[in-house]
């Protein structure tokens, strides 16, 4: 059974999502390494992931 963390985005039209503590920790570590705010790190990781999946057929 995975332990999940409910993340609530405070800006309008943002979804509530459940993510594992491990995944949240990885993003927190990334934010710290890059010296950025956690919300900025989440945005960057999500954008990079979307870019990657949008271009899967180009590999």
Question: Structural domain tally of the chain?
Answer: 1
How much is the pLDDT for 19? 86
Query: CA 21, 27, 29, 32: dihedral to nearest 10 degrees?
Result: -140
Domain hosting 42: range is 4-58
Print pLDDT tens along the chain (59 aa): 444 455 555 554 556 788 888 999 999 999 999 999 998 999 999 999 999 998 888 76
How much is the pLDDT for 37? 92
How much is the pLDDT for 29? 95
How far apart, in whole angstroms, are the C-alpha atoms of residue 6 and residue 40? 18
């Amino acid at each position: 059974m995975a332990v999940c963390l409910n993340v609530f985005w405070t800006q309008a039209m943002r979804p509530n999502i459940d993510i594992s503590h491990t995944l949240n920790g990885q993003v927190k570590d990334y934010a710290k390494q890059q010296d950025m705010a956690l919300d900025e790190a989440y945005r960057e990781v999500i954008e990079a992931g979307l870019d990657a999946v949008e271009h899967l057929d180009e590999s």
